[in-house]
């Protein structure tokens, strides 16, 4: 019984502290001062976008304007469900991986 519990614990995959999904350990990024906290690549990208938007608040460069426009469009696309469309959705998801 105790052996089975240990085996189950070893099989349990760590969860992302942001979205809660389970990942393999090598797919999580750990925080330097708090290594118990790990986030997946998707959540790390989301955090990066939020941090940059916060840092660029009030700036008016061409790059920050484009990024603000993309950030404003992203929730509208998701609300409309376009990411689930057969061809367009795959294109949008692929494009989003390369957008700032």
Which parts of this chain interact with Zn ion (CB under 5 A)?
16, 18-19, 40, 43
Comparison of 41 and 90: residue with beta carbon closer to Zn ion: 41
- In angstroms, give the least distance from the CB of 18 to Zn ion: 4
Comparison of 19 and 31: residue with beta carbon closer to Zn ion: 19
- In angstroms, give the least distance from the CB of 62 to Zn ion: 31
- In angstroms, give the least distance from the CB of 97 to Zn ion: 15
Comparison of 41 and 95: residue with beta carbon closer to Zn ion: 41
Any bridge partners for residue 19, and if so which? none
CB 83 within 8 A of CB 77: yes
The answer for 26, left when phi > 0, alpha when psi is -120 to 50, beta otherwise, is alpha
- In angstroms, give the least distance from the CB of 86 to Zn ion: 26
Comparison of 23 and 77: residue with beta carbon closer to Zn ion: 23
Strands (E), 18-89: 28-30, 38-40
CA distance 77 to 9: 39
CA distance 84 to 37: 31
């Amino acid at each position: 019984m105790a052996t089975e519990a240990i085996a189950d614990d070893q099989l349990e995959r760590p969860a992302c502290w942001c979205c809660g999904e389970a990942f393999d350990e090598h797919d999580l990024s750990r925080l330097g001062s708090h290594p118990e906290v790990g986030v997946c690549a998707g959540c790390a990208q989301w955090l990066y976008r939020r941090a940059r938007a916060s840092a660029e608040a009030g700036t008016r460069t061409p790059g920050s304007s484009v990024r603000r426009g993309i950030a404003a469009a992203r929730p509208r696309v998701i609300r409309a469900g376009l990411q689930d469309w057969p061809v367009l959705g795959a294109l949008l998801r692929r494009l989003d991986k390369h957008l700032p």
